[in-house]
Amino acid sequence: MIFRLLAAAIWLPLRVLYEALRFVLLLPFPRKVPKWAVLRLAGGLPWRYARTRRWKPGKKPLALEEIERQLETAAREPALRGIVVFPEELHADPARLVALATALQRFRSKGKEVVLYWKQALARDFALVPAADRVLLAPGGMVLLVGHAAAMTSVREGLQKLGVVAEFFRIGRWKTAPERFTRSDISPEHRALVEAVLDQRQDELVAWVASRKAGDAEWAARVIDGGPYTSRRAVEAGLVDALVYPDEIGSWLGRHPSPGSAKESGADSTTKESTDEARTKAEKREPKLHGLGSIRSSRRWRVEWPKIAPPSIAVVRIDGLIKPGRSVRLPGGRSLAGERTVAAAMNRVREDPRIRGVIVAIDSRGGAAPASELMWRAVKRCAEAKPTVAYVESVAASGGYFAAAGAGRIVATPGALVGSIGVFSGRFDARALLDRLGIRQEVVLRGANAGILEPAHSLTDRERKMMEAEIAAIYEEFVDRVADGRRLGADEIRAHAEGRVFVASSAPKALVDEVGDFKSAMAWVCKEAGLDPERARLRIEEPRGMGALQLGELLSLAGVAASQPLLLWLD
């Protein structure tokens, strides 16, 4: 704290002197504001720049909050006609794209134009279409608009050919995760879940596409059924307005001014030019495209005062399959959430007086039952000490929802998957496979139920009843813990349990408090903490002491019992 105050005391006079000199030196020179600005999008579009404890090299990805700030500044420039949006290497979730589209629509409401440029488009890229006045495509580009699909796989017969028999026990007819091992077909419950998710995604896509034709949903459905599209077919179908190479965008905008800008040019009494004359002049100009951020830096009177040790809101992530022990990073950017790592992070933010509130960002389909309960306990203890909200962007199912239930509030995006309150456990009987391989095992038991943990032993009726009773007890405990965290009766939770998964937009209030986005979660936690959401600083609580995945864990997570044949999962 003392160091920050000292640094601010030195930095502040220097910044004031810099702004004064900058104003005096630039006073004789008129500012040049471009007619068109460029917004290049890449990466996952984080909601806000966050302070971390570790310095990371490289350029920061552009955050949604910074984009909104740049758009607000650009909208106040009278000379700026609009922006060209380039989604390049963009892999953001639909919820973040929808939030960006909302910011672009606010920019348009100020009389500006938004032009969307694609080199190639996927279905999720259409989330930005409702915010665009015009859509351009590279001549060789494709519009891969084909709707949504989901592949449901069963490996039961393949395991049987190998001589492996899957034995699973579950509570809840909607707990369909083990069906891939135990059924050759798809159960009606699992099919209903998949169809509900696809229906939600498809309705969303139809609405995005329909914005190209005044909300005509029937036209949009026909266009989607006609995909994919080459560049020329995309123009003919009305999905894009023109085919333009990237280096020709400036000249194309000069030759094709928006109807609104042409009208304004023709009605300008000071120039007394007709619309045709204004358009002729536009054809001779080739507007230069400048970065959207450069408009912000061109403002002379902007002085950013330092924030001296502002209160922080911590973000703790629960990403991936939940497992005992430490979290693990996997190849390809994925990870496994270890209860030990997550609990340690929750304890740190709970005990840190500089942190006034906590956002638990969950993206997990579930995992090990004991580890999920320990995470729930850590989240609940934090919620008892300071405002804590669980934010679900993609999925918080089963063990992931177990952990979320410990928070004081649950906020989920409209398309997020929540629920799946249920339990299953199982094992693989590999005796036939061992026989085929010429491997002989003799099992010697001590204890009436000792064979439960032995893959070369078939379960007896007594052992099956024991397992069924065990998972029933775990299920009731799961329901009780969720009811405790949600401050509801167990019967209210049980009515939405049995492993059923909900899309957040249609989820019952007993499971989700608010359908929103990250800003909604931030607004609630700041309100409860008595902070201004605009001033509060985010601090990402990076996982510490991450471990390495052992071979036995890898096999168990893949569904092949090695050192621990019996799997108890909330998945």
* Residue-by-residue DSSP string for 245-279: -GGGHHHHHHHS--HHHHHHHHT-TTTT--HHHHH
Beta carbons within 8 Å of 185's beta carbon, 6+ residues apart: 154
CB 328 within 8 A of CB 372: no
Could you confirm whether 175 is annotated as catalytic?
A: yes
- Rounded Cα distance, 470 and 550, in Å: 27
Number of helices (H) and strands (E) in the chain: give both, helices first.
20, 25
SS3 499: coil
Q: Give the containing element (helix H, strand E) for 190.
A: helix 188-210
- Rounded Cα distance, 230 and 225, in Å: 14
Q: Please compute, for residue 432, the number of CA atoms within 13 A of its CA located in the half-sphere on the CB side.
A: 10
Crossing angle of helices 275-284 and 259-266, rounded to 10°: 120
- Rounded Cα distance, 291 and 85, in Å: 10
Burial class (CB in 10 A: 0-12, 13-18, 19+), 120: middle
CB 332 within 8 A of CB 320: no
Other Cβ atoms closer than 10 A to 367:
28
Q: Write down the catalytic residue from 398, 420, 520, 556.
A: 398
- Rounded alpha-carbon distances, angstroms, from residue 343 to 15, 36, 248, 249, 280: 42, 49, 54, 51, 66
Beta carbons within 8 Å of 128's beta carbon, 6+ residues apart: 85, 87, 97, 100, 101, 104, 116
User: Which single residue is written with the structure tokens 């001014």?
Assistant: 257
**Amino acid letter, 171:** I
Q: Write down the catalytic residue from 175, 323, 380, 386.
A: 175
- Rounded Cα distance, 42 and 88, in Å: 5
Positive or negative: CA dihedral 228, 232, 238, 241: positive
CB 388 within 8 A of CB 357: yes
SS3 272: coil
Catalytic residues: 175, 398
